[in-house]
Amino acid sequence: MLSNEGQISFWNAAAERLFGYLAEEVINRSTDFLASKGSGDSPDLAKALRSGKTLGSFETTVRTKNGSPLQVSATVSVVRDKNDKPIASAAILRDVSELRETRDQLVQAQKMEATGRIAGGIAHDFNNLLAIIMGNAELIRSSDDRQDIEALVSEVVEASERGAELTRRLLSFARKSQLSPEVVNANQVVSSMSDIFSRVIPKSVAIDMDLAPDLDQTSVDVSFLEGALLNLVINARDALQDAGQLSIKTENTVISSSKKNAHGECIPAGDYVMISVTDTGVGIRQDDLPRVVEPFFTTKSPDRGSGLGLAMARGFARQSSGTLRI
């Protein structure tokens, strides 16, 4: 507990165990000696106690008697007399060092899991492509039939192109792709893809396009936008299971203040062009929503998707100063 003069007026047994100081060592001292050196957060506790305000739970770093830093969760309350006059500030501290360590370990484990999934997916896909290339190369070496050789060479070229496409998707996911943005009207991009959409969408699915007539111009790499849109449309097609309606809509939207999306990414305030793809299909399970943008994570059967489509679309959107919202 801290007096109005900024000095420690009460120090209980729990505080003695937490910090290592006996009550007689700290009474009438300021709390500055508890600040952890080199921690930008540590002054917050002293400031909070001297502020004369009630503050909800926050985490900070303090220093124990032996000089070691300690992670604590603190709650500060104002003590008032019967006339509602502030007479002291009280802090309740809880050691959260183990909790933080466990949380950091969990984050690291999740990172390692994601890295392992990416590495496994890449190895699997490239191994399949290399098997095709090597197998056909062996057949070419042992064949004298020109027609057979041409067919085998075509398969090698096709496998190589698929490898290049896989690399392009991975780069887009990692936001390392070399984009060539140009100022365009997204309506024109969507309209120009109508023939492609009609080829990948069965006739039993109705396609509706709602394109805003006053849509703003936007700076974007057209080829990557087309790829991202095609991925979203194919996902919608698979969710529809050959029946239902797919809608593509463009509109201007304004983000009035910076905010974080569901993945913790900060979206700056400003004017944006939004392209939405919606469908009347089965949808995504709520438990899977946080993971659908992870590379190689897919709810489809192995022959229906690689798990890179949404990861690529998200990477492209972020590299283009936008976001993907599901």
Burial class (CB in 10 A: 0-12, 13-18, 19+), 46: buried
Note the CATH architecture for domain 104-173. Answer: Orthogonal Bundle (1.10)
Distance CA 61, CA 18 (A): 13
Q: How confident is the model at residue 297 (pLDDT cuts 50, 70, 90)?
A: low
- Which residue intervals of the chain are DSSP H helices? 13-19, 23-26, 43-50, 97-142, 146-173, 186-192, 194-200, 222-240, 309-319
Distance CA 188, CA 211 (A): 9
pTM to 2 decimal places = 0.47
pLDDT, position 41 = 41
3-state secondary structure of 115: helix
High-pLDDT (> 90) share of the chain, %: 16
Q: Report the candidate in 263, 272, 255 with the shortest Cα–Cα distance to residue 326.
A: 263
- Is 181's pLDDT higher than 80? yes
Of these ranges, 15-19, 112-116, 151-155, 233-237, the one predicted with the greatest mean pLDDT is: 15-19
Task: Report the range of poorest mean pLDDT among 8-17, 62-71, 141-150, 227-236.
Answer: 141-150
Query: To the nearest whole number, what is the mean pLDDT of the chain?
Result: 79
3-state secondary structure of 264: coil
Higher pLDDT, 36 or 319: 319
Tens-place pLDDT, residues 240-280:
877 889 999 999 999 887 766 665 667 788 899 999 999 99
Same-fold call for 104-173 versus 182-319: no
Which CATH code is given to the segment(s) 2-95? 3.30.450.20
Distance CA 124, CA 130 (A): 10
Domain spans in the chain, listed from the N-terminal domain onward: 2-95, 104-173, 182-319
| Maximum C-alpha span of the chain | 104
CATH says 182-319 is which class?
A: alpha beta
pLDDT, position 121 = 63
Helices (H) and strands (E) in the chain, counts: 9, 11
pLDDT, position 38 = 46
Q: How confident is the model at residue 45 (pLDDT cuts 50, 70, 90)?
A: low
For 37, phi then psi, to 5°, come to -65, 135
Q: What is the mean pLDDT of residues 291-306?
A: 62
Listed in sequence order, the residues at least 6 apart from 242 whose beta carbon sits closer than 8 Å to its beta carbon are: 202, 204, 205
| Amino acid sitting at position 267 | I
